[in-house]
A and B are shown apart, each in its own frame.
Chain A
Amino acid sequence: MSAITRDEVAHLARLSRLALHEDELDQLAAQLDVIISAVAKVQEVAQGDIPPSSHALPLTNVYRPDEARPGLDPDQALAGAPAVEDERFRVPRILGEEA
């Protein structure tokens, strides 16, 4: 039984803004299938009394005091920008969506 369908790979690719060719979809579906099946094996073992974990450390309540400290200066901050205008990051326009 396949763990992931070709359509699901296409959906994930679109969400990740990856332009995949038809043949790449088939290839990746097969590869992802192997990965997901391997993870599923772990799930078989970790049943019942073992809660799923999202963190490597058994810590809770790690907080920072609410104190403002200087960050990067604007030149540093913008150093990695693809383009800069008006001290702001200049990015391509986004079509169709306003978050």
Chain B
Amino acid sequence: MLGLETHVELGTASKMFCSCSTVFGAKPNTQVCPVCLALPGSLPVANGAAVESAIRLGLMLNCSIASWCRFARKNYFYPDMPKNYQISQYDEPLCTDGYLDVAVETPDGPREFRVGIERVHMEEDTGKTSHVGGATGRIHGADYSIVDYNRAGIPLLEVVTKPIEHTGEFAPEAARAYVRELRDLVRSLGISDVRMEEGSLRCDVNVSLMPRGGTEWGTRSETKNVNSLRSVERAVRHEMERQAGLLDAGQRVVQETRHFQEASGTTVSGRSKEEAQDYRYFPDPDLVPVAPSAEWIEELRATLPEPPAAKRARLQAEWGLSDEELRDLVNAEATDLVAATVDAGAPSAEARKWWLNELSRRSTEAEISLSALAITPAQVARIIALVAEGTLTNKLARQVVDGVLNGEGTPDEVVDARGLKVVSDDSALGAAVDAAIADNPDAAEKVRSGKVAAAGALVGAVMKATRGQADAGRARELILERLGAG
């Protein structure tokens, strides 16, 4: 059995309960104020945009939206929160009881699983603690900690699934498919940049097994802060194997928090949960209840985007893709990029070809995601148009891509600056053709005597002389004309 708790860091301009900036990567403790530092006398006020984002995500996940709910204080002693509590929601979450359908590839074809959503609630992120001294970065053996509160108070949505059963051996793939679908859905809402590598989307993975022949689920483990899609899948697989090993050996699974080790793909034991945490939740008296009216909810419902799954199905039909072609597109994370390129005027087949081949290769080389490449769908569409109108050959177009990725400007600017236009005007081309004929008398003679195939050598000479910029078709026409074989 699988359970996933996913934290989504919202892309609001300001924090959840104060007006501090949320920009990533600022100098330590430069985005803090009396509220998020918990100075005496400060009062939190909820960020309306964050509440709206929470409602919209809840609606996208088919949840019921509470007509009245409160924030609660989760009390604990840890220096990542200066208040000694984190503002969260406890028994009154804003969104409850939804679902998200995900598809998993199996050897017998795609299988769909419906993942129940238990709740979506609002809370605030914690500060960033670094451990100094002792072992590298790990808390064990650290002599002291230093804390940056820039992140403390950034709005988070926590999405908690219901127990996911019936995925059987495909649990790792199902977990990954769920997180990916949730990520795409959040991205389509535009409420977070959902960059797992920057921690704006992170997962806790709960796994428990049912012993063979048993009827009840065993003790579960909770693996914290799994920060990539691949890691989600690996963490689940590793936990299944580890727990199965324990059960097969007649040992018991301990209820505990575990940490995922990126390098080895395994999990290691963190703190034991034998003694349940006592967070003494109670309603935060500093914050008034959130009571969205039916009108407000309907207003927000009207702003919802097309769900990613529906969009994929629509694009598959519009572009005439096979299931396999669609899957390639999805796996390459290229669907939205191709769609934007098509919106910018490119034919879908060309857009798909560029993003899946040339640009995928570049992103792999640079070890960044496709969407992080320094080229926009509109620029790709422009390059495709330049090829279609004959200004560029495919080879030249790849050089234009080089230039754009290099920061040399727009495709048109790169074409001008690098002088990459196809040479097809007859006067410029004519000179190159004459030179090629003069330099290759044997080939020229063959063509004159009717062996038209020999023209290839002359076209090659023209292309070489023009550094690949000649319009090969036009060059061939001119050669045949000149040699009376046209």
Interface centre among B34, B75, B289 (most CB of A within 10 A): B289
A63–B14 touching, CB < 8 Å:
no
| CB within 8 Å of A: which B267-319 residues | 270-271, 278, 280, 282-285, 288-292
Q: Is the interface of A mostly helix, strand, loop or mixed?
A: loop
Contact B48–A99 (Cβ < 8 Å): no
Binds B, one of A32-40, A41-49, A88-96: A88-96
List of A residues within 8 angstroms of B36 by Cβ: 71
Flag A13-37 by CB within 8 Å of B: 1 or 0 each: 0010100000000000000000000
Q: Does B216 contact A (CB under 8 A)?
A: no
Per the 8 Å Cβ criterion, residues 45-64 of A in contact with B are 54-57, 59-64
Of residues A15, A70, A88, which shows the largest number of chain B Cβ atoms within 10 Å of its Cβ? A88
Identity of the chain A residue whose Cβ is nearest the Cβ of B69 in the assembled complex:
A60
Q: Is the Cβ of B78 less than 8 Å from the Cβ of A71?
A: no
Q: Within 8 Å of chain A (Cβ to Cβ): is B126? A: yes
C-alpha spacing A93/B131, complex, angstroms: 8
Partner of A88, one of B23, B78, B148: B148
Q: Is the CB of B144 within 8 A of A91?
A: yes
CB pair A67–B30 under 8 Å, yes or no, is no
Tell me whether A87 and B27 are in contact (CB under 8 A). Answer: yes
Interface residues on A, range: 35 or more
A77 x B32 contact (CB < 8 A): yes
Q: How far is the CA of A27 from the CA of B320 in the complex (A)?
A: 79
Q: Point out which of B29, B143, B149, B283 has the most chain A C-beta atoms below 10 A from its C-beta.
A: B29
CA gap between A66 and B50 in the complex, in Å: 8
Which chain B residues (1-44) contact chain A, with CB distance < 8 Å? 12-14, 18-23, 27-34, 36-37, 39
Query: Once the chains are docked, how many angstroms separate the CA of A74 from the CA of B271?
Result: 34
Check B28 against A86 for contact (C-beta < 8 Å).
yes
Q: A59, A60, A78, A86: which has the most chain B beta carbons within 10 Å?
A: A60
Which of B31, B48, B142, B285 meets A93, CB within 8 Å?
Answer: B142
Which of A56, A63, A78 neighbours the largest number of chain B CB atoms within 10 Å of its CB? A63
In the complex, the answer to whether B32 meets A93 with C-beta atoms within 8 Å is no
Which residues of A are found within 8 Å of B100, using beta-carbon distances? none
CB of B352 closer than 8 Å to a CB of A: no
- In the bound complex, do residue A15 and residue B146 qualify as a contact, i.e. CB atoms below 8 Å apart? no
Question: In whole angstroms, what is the CA distance A11 to B259 when docked?
Answer: 28
- B146–A86 contact, CB under 8 A? yes
Q: Which residues of A contact B282 (CB under 8 A)?
A: 54
Which B residues, 112 to 165, have Cβ-Cβ distances below 8 Å to chain A? 126, 130-133, 139, 142-149
**A42 CA / B299 CA spacing, docked (Å):** 42
Q: How many residue pairs between the two chains, A and B, have CB atoms under 8 Å in the bound complex?
A: 146
Contact between A94 and B79, CB atoms less than 8 A apart = yes
Contact A63 B75 (CB under 8 A): no
Chain A residues, Cβ within 8 Å of B266: none
Do B271 and A67 have beta carbons less than 8 Å apart?
no
| Alpha-carbon separation in the docked complex, A94 to B131 (Å) | 9
Given contacts A63-B45, A68-B21, contact A91 B14 (CB under 8 A): no
Distance in angstroms between the alpha carbons of A61 and B147 in the assembled complex? 33
Inter-chain contacts of A61 with B (CB < 8 A) = 288-292
- When the two chains form their complex, are residues B19 and A87 in contact, meaning their CB atoms are under 8 A apart? no
| B146 contacts A85, C-beta separation under 8 Å | yes
Verify A85–B288 contact, CB threshold 8 A. no
Shortest distance from the beta carbon of A93 to any chain B beta carbon, whole Å:
5
CA distance A67 to B20 in the complex (A): 8
Please give, as numbers and ranges, the residues of chain A lying within 8 Å of B278 by CB-CB distance. 11, 15
- Contact B270–A98 (Cβ < 8 Å): yes
Residue of B nearest to A75 (CB): B29
Verify B12–A55 contact, CB threshold 8 A.
Answer: no
For the complex formed, measure the closest distance between the CB of A65 and the CB atoms of chain B, giving whole angstroms.
6
Q: Are A60 and B290 in contact (CB under 8 A)?
A: yes
Q: Which listed residue, B130, B149, B283, touches A54 by the CB 8 Å rule? A: B283
Q: Are A74 and B146 in contact (CB under 8 A)?
A: no
What are the residues of chain B within 8 A of A89 when measuring CB–CB?
A: 29, 79, 146-149
- Given contacts A15-B280, A74-B28, A89-B29, whether A59 and B270 have CB atoms under 8 Å apart is no
Nearest-CB distance from A2 to chain B (Å)? 20
* Cα A89 to Cα B32 with chains together (Å): 12
Cα A86 to Cα B132 with chains together (Å) = 11
A97 CB, nearest partner CB in chain B, Å: 6
Smallest CB-CB A-B distances: 4 pairs: A71-B33, A63-B48, A66-B49, A54-B283
Q: Identify the B interface with A (CB < 8 A).
A: 12-14, 18-23, 27-34, 36-37, 39, 45-51, 68, 70, 75-80, 126, 130-133, 139, 142-149, 224, 257, 259, 270-271, 278, 280, 282-285, 288-292
A-B CB contact pairs (8 Å), 15 listed: A11-B278, A17-B77, A54-B70, A56-B285, A60-B68, A64-B46, A65-B48, A66-B12, A68-B13, A71-B34, A72-B33, A89-B146, A89-B148, A93-B144, A96-B271
Give 16 A-B pairs besides A85-B146, A87-B148 with Cβ atoms closer than 8 angstroms: A60-B68, A61-B289, A62-B45, A66-B12, A67-B13, A74-B29, A77-B37, A80-B37, A87-B27, A87-B29, A91-B144, A92-B144, A96-B271, A98-B270, A99-B78, A99-B80
